[in-house]
């Protein structure tokens, strides 16, 4: 599952149970306890159970192990189980040597004392785009490095827009986007579909509009925040967005767009393969802010981290493994496999040169923002829960956008 937004995080303390949507996974054990830290077996845990032995991913792990002079014992977990097992392994002093984990979980594990910082493990993060690195930052320290990123943008159906007399170049802000939706409806087609479901997916999809209004997660009831929720509410009221968005997941929202009747759909890089199968010409547009320019969309994707070990002598080899996994060539190969945008400008340029269709996604990722950025850390899950509840309340008509967000802010406090 490549979509980080499908994961609902609930953090409490060291014994935190991280609850996220997902499927079954395999189990594994922690570090080998080898007395010789420079040789032997090193364990790697990742959230890619779909990649079996012999896949490009596991082959890369083995290659990095060989270059470091060690063997790799790798276990692929479902994301939800990975966070829980990592916390339990840390309590037992049996953490993996290298942990690849969903970026919103990094702050939870760091706060619990599970991870070493880049300052401690000497992991070089200088080349990483700062906005992506921020998802792994807590109290001025960086915990790990991103292996890649995905985010949200607007897919659009070229024929629907053309038939409605809409020039996509005219869509630069909320006003022009709404005007385009009005033309599409008048032409007998459907406007825009998205996911506003009452889970982390709903918050994930609302965030570009929330941030695009100028709002901050520390103040859910601001005038700017109210304007963002009012935008969605007005779209539904005007028939530009369907009532189904209240229950849509990102998958069902995509299925609506794939019908060919919609002008726009908010979705992510993970739908690129499906977009090519849709049977109609499409384009991709970064989500605009209220006044123009690209809105910050939330980043999905994983971080390569180095958990705390009882034997500090293991860090040097673990650092070699992490460095190998995030080298320029390996990032390019891995992010192509995962349908991710790379976290460094050098690799992003290689990706766009090989596939020009990635250009709007690179632009979107460069404007993206971590959900736990601004030092929110483990405060984010509570804020997110109140956000999606407010969105549900306003779109269902139970409360006005202002009342819903005011209640949300009070609940967060």
Q: What is the C-alpha to C-alpha distance for residues 219 and 369, in angstroms, rounded to an integer?
A: 17
Q: Report the DSSP beta bridge partners of residue 305.
A: 99
Phi, psi of 138 (to 5 degrees): -145, 120
- Helix ranges, 306-379 (H): 315-325, 328-338, 345-354, 359-367
Q: 258 and 229: one domain?
A: yes
Q: What is the pLDDT at residue 36?
A: 56
CATH number at residue 250: 3.40.190.10
Q: 214 and 100: one domain?
A: no
Three-class DSSP category at 288: strand
Q: 167 and 80: one domain?
A: no
pTM of the predicted model as reported, rounded to 2 decimal places? 0.83
Q: What is the pLDDT at residue 273?
A: 86
Q: Are 148 and 338 in contact (CB under 8 A)?
A: yes
Q: What is the pLDDT at residue 378?
A: 85
Q: 266 and 359: one domain?
A: no
Classify burial at 400, counting beta carbons within 10 Å of its beta carbon; exposed 0-12, middle 13-18, buried 19 or more.
middle
Q: What is the pLDDT at residue 39?
A: 66
Structural element, H or E, at residue 302: strand 302-305
Q: 388 and 291: one domain?
A: yes
The 8-class DSSP code of residue 150 comes to B
Q: Of 345, 367, 389, which closes a domain?
A: 367
User: What is the domain extent for residue 213?
Assistant: 152-297+376-412
Three-class DSSP category at 190: strand
Q: 256 and 391: one domain?
A: yes
Q: What is the pLDDT at residue 37?
A: 66
Q: 276 and 313: one domain?
A: no
Classify burial at 99, counting beta carbons within 10 Å of its beta carbon; exposed 0-12, middle 13-18, buried 19 or more.
buried
Q: How many domains does the chain divide into?
A: 2
Q: What is the pLDDT at residue 374?
A: 84
CA-based nearest residue to 215, from 377, 362, 6, 369: 369
Count CA atoms closer than 13 A to 384's CA, side-chain side.
29
Angle CA(170)–CA(339)–CA(150) in degrees, nearest 5? Answer: 60
Q: 274 and 393: one domain?
A: yes
Q: 357 and 381: one domain?
A: no
Q: 282 and 407: one domain?
A: yes
Q: What is the pLDDT at residue 258?
A: 97
Mean pLDDT by 10 residues, the chain (413 residues): 35 33 30 54 95 93 96 91 93 96 92 94 94 92 95 97 98 98 98 96 96 97 98 98 97 97 96 92 96 94 96 95 96 88 96 93 93 88 95 98 98 92
**pLDDT tens column, 249-297:** 999 999 999 999 999 999 999 898 899 999 999 999 999 999 999 999 9
Q: 141 and 167: one domain?
A: no
Q: 77 and 126: one domain?
A: yes
């Amino acid at each position: 599952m490549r979509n980080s937004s499908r994961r609902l995080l609930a953090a409490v303390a060291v014994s935190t149970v991280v609850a996220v949507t997902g499927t079954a996974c395999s189990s594994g054990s922690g570090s080998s306890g080898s007395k010789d830290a420079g040789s032997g077996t090193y364990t790697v845990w990742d959230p890619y159970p779909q990649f079996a032995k012999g896949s490009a991913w596991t082959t890369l792990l083995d290659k990095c192990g060989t270059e470091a002079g060690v063997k790799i014992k790798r276990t692929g977990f479902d994301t939800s189980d990975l966070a829980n097992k990592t916390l339990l392994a840390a309590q037992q002093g049996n953490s993996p040597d290298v942990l690849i984990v969903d970026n919103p979980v990094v702050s939870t594990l760091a706060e619990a004392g599970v991870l070493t910082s880049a300052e401690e493990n000497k992991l070089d993060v200088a080349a990483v785009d700062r906005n992506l690195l921020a998802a792994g930052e807590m109290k001025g320290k960086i915990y790990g490095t991103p292996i890649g990123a995905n985010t949200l943008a607007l897919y659009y159906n070229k024929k629907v827009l053309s038939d409605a007399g809409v020039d996509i170049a005219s869509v630069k802000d909320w006003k022009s986007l709404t005007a385009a939706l009005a033309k599409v409806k008048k032409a007998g087609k459907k406007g825009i579909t998205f996911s506003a479901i009452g889970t982390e997916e709903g918050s994930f999809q609302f965030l570009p509009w929330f941030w695009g209004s100028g709002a901050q997660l520390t103040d859910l009831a601001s005038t700017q925040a109210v304007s963002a929720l009012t935008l969605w509410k007005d779209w539904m009221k005007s028939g530009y967005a369907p009532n189904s968005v209240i229950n849509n997941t990102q998958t069902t929202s995509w299925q609506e767009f794939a019908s060919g009747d919609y002008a726009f759909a908010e979705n992510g890089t993970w739908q690129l393969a499906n977009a090519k199968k849709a049977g109609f010409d499409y384009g991709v547009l970064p989500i605009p802010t209220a006044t123009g320019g690209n809105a910050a969309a939330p980043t999905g994707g994983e971080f390569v981290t180095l958990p705390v070990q009882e034997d500090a002598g293991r860090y040097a080899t673990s650092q070699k493994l992490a460095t190998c996994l995030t080298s320029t060539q390996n990032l390019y190969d891995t992010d192509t496999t995962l349908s991710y945008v790379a976290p460094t400008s050098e690799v992003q340029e290689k990706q766009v040169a090989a596939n020009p269709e990635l250009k709007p996604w690179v632009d979107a990722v460069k404007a993206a923002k971590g959900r736990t950025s601004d030092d929110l850390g483990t405060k984010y899950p509570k804020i997110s829960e109140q956000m999606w509840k407010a969105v549900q309340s306003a779109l269902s008509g139970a409360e006005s956008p202002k009342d819903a967000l005011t209640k949300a802010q009070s609940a967060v406090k």
